[in-house]
Amino acid sequence: MKKRNIIIPSLLLLLFSLFIINQFLLNITKIHNGTSQEENGFLSPLPESEIPQEEEEKITTATLLAVGDIMFHMPQIKSAYNPVDNTYDFNDVFRYVRKYIDSADLSIANFETVVAGNERGFSGFPRFNSPEETLKAIKNAGFNILTTANNHALDQGKEGLLKTIEFIEREGMKNLGTYREPSDQLLIENINGIKVALLSYSYGFNGLEYSLTEEELSYLVNRIDENRIKEDILKAKGHDSDIIVVCIHWGNEYEREPSEFQVELGKKMIEWGANIILGGHPHVVQRSEIVHYGGKDNFIIYSMGNFLSNQRRENVNTKYAEDGIMVKILLEKDLIRDETIIKDITYIPTWVRRYNDNGVKYEILPIVDFLEDEGLYSIISEKERKRIEESYHDTLEKMAQN
């Protein structure tokens, strides 16, 4: 009997202990599932505000694509002429690069010519006047902004400058660097929530500045002036811009290395607050650099070369005038921290093809497509294949890597 009395209490104690442990484990599980006391009559849910949650990351991105000089010499104008209906069509020039230009959120080119009206007649170097249809094709290619602060801006005088702005706007694009009247002259584009400020300047205007008064010079054209550039960059910062882009016409023609002036001014502009500097004028590709300053990576390309022209090794004595580059920059903004960075840079080398097909024709080739696509590769001649391979190598060796 004594033995039995000992066993029964022990079993009861064991069962009671297991019950207590089970309840404890159930409560622990509920707490981990976002509940604590008094659910099922015992535990009540924790308020949602007290439940630990990971902070949601809020990121927005935008792509900026930039190309170099677009020029229209007389052979190009003649090649686009249709005598049947007396019209000009430049659309095919851009057919292979259109997908790159049109897919970017913002695409920029240097429009290094003047459109003063077809009634004036057309001319190439040294004082350009191009058909209005050139701008239609540029718009159709996908460009949004054309920089007009370059040494050919005054080729047709003040009237030509103003007409060029008018025709650019008529096609639904914006111009940068020349203006109708005194204004802030600061262009800010909101791209997917990223505020991009754009500025543009030129070293000079081929001596045609004399045709303007001092007052007109102060606002019609943006000349390179360090005090002015610094002031404009500070204005852009004052407008809470996330990224500041400076498009600048500088350097020495056909030189593949930037001048001391370019390097020094480029460094200053970064220190003043510019984040991206896009250079043009030398008509050949010059190197790019990633400059770490102000706690972030900034980008300079001293010259993007010729995106389109008739300058070739046969007429300017350098093969590099046929080369250009599309620079695609991925911007990323952290909306929580209000910080914007250059996330990635992609280089797409281009080459201007000039060939005969019932007359001279021009096309801008994205080289990598023609090297990798057998169908496209078969379109061009063996001589052209060698040229684009050379061009591809020559251009990429100048580019800084991410």
Residues 245 and 309 in one domain: yes
Residues 322 and 188 in one domain: yes
- Hunting for tokens 């043009």 — which residue is that? 280
Q: Which stretches does DSSP call E strand in 126-171? A: 145-147
Q: Does some domain include residue 402? A: no
Residues 117 and 30 in one domain: no
Beta bridge partners of 259: none
As a whole number of angstroms, the distance between CA 211 and CA 174 comes to 25
Q: What pLDDT shows up at residue 185?
A: 81
Q: Which domain holds residue 176?
A: 60-396
Confidence of residue 2 (pLDDT cuts 50, 70, 90): very low
Residues 249-288 pLDDT 10s? 999 999 999 999 999 999 999 999 999 999 999 999 999 9
Residues 389 and 346 in one domain: yes
Residues 261 and 381 in one domain: yes
Residues 362 and 274 in one domain: yes
Residues 6 and 117 in one domain: no
Phi and psi, residue 32, nearest 5°: -65, -25
- Amino acid letter for position 38: E
**DSSP type of residue 177:** S
- Hunting for tokens 């996908």 — which residue is that? 142
Residues 24-46 pLDDT 10s? 444 444 434 444 433 343 334 44
Phi and psi, residue 215, nearest 5°: -65, -45
Q: How far is CA 182 from the centre of its chain?
A: 27
Q: What pLDDT shows up at residue 182?
A: 85
Residues 12 and 86 in one domain: no
Boundary residue ending a domain (50, 74, 90): 50
Find, among 401, 355, 377, 310, the residue nearest to 69 by Cα.
Answer: 310
Number of domains in the chain: 2
What CATH number corresponds to the domain at position 106?
3.60.21.10
How many of the other CB atoms lie within 10 Å of CB of 18? 10
Task: Identify the H or E element spanning 12.
Answer: helix 2-32
Q: Does some domain include residue 401? A: no
